[in-house]
Amino acid sequence: MMVGVRDLKPVAEVTYQDNGDGEGLVPMTPITRVPAGPVNGSAWLPAYPGQSQPLNAGMLTLGALPSSPFWARRYTRQFLNSCAGINETTADTAELLVSELVTNAVRFSGDPARPLRYSERASMGLISLSLRHFREGLLIEVFDTDAKPPVLSDPEPDAENGRGLMLVDALAREWSYFFPPGGGKVVYCLLDISRLTVMRPGNRAREASIAAPGRLRPG
């Protein structure tokens, strides 16, 4: 039986705070959350009996370049156009979430302000975007090579950066991150595919209207 996103739970709650770079434990603050581990159905989990299987799945690998958010949005739109039951509101919201997560990945995996010389591109960081469409929702996962955990902040109204995870926190049903065995990190969010209200530019992220019932909790 197909299991929807409402039934997805973290496989195991991670109890350690190692940031993966050999510098020891990550100090917890009110805006740094515990990594939750991949959810059932994650693209970073090996196949096993009982694992949730998506109705549609796709993955895109990009270099850590300033153009990556644009291509990630285009890929997301094309992917969702092939999925039954995805309305325009859901597609718009998914594009926004993908854009914010990939933008953060570029920021922490490279230098988005400095164009790379051709000789440097072979060693640039890589970003992987995974989209997995389940019966009742969309699982968005973004991998980057930086092992520092994402930090949810509340920037000043005139700040130019820092609102990415505020948008994700407001618009997604749940979000978290985990450290895959090969290094780096994966930041993911779960998006309900019905009864969404898209946040308009200029509104505070936490004032977005979200009708999704409940929040995902570690199992």
Quote the Cα angle for 196-200-205, to 5°. 80
Q: Give the amino acid at 146.
A: D
- 71 three-state secondary structure: helix
Q: Is the pTM of this model over 0.75?
A: no
Give the CA distances from residue 14 to residues 19, 37, 147, 179, in Å, rounded to whole numbers and listed in that order.
12, 6, 15, 9
Domains of the chain and CATH, by start? 5-43+55-115+122-207 (3.30.565.10)
More confident residue, 162 or 35: 35
Mean pLDDT of 154-159: 46
User: For the chain, how are helix, strand and coil distributed in percent, rounded to 5?
Assistant: 25, 20, 55
204-218 pLDDT tens trace: 333 343 333 333 333
Which of 42, 43, 168 is closest to 93 using CA atoms? Answer: 168
25-67 pLDDT tens trace: 444 443 567 788 899 999 999 888 888 899 999 999 998 888 9
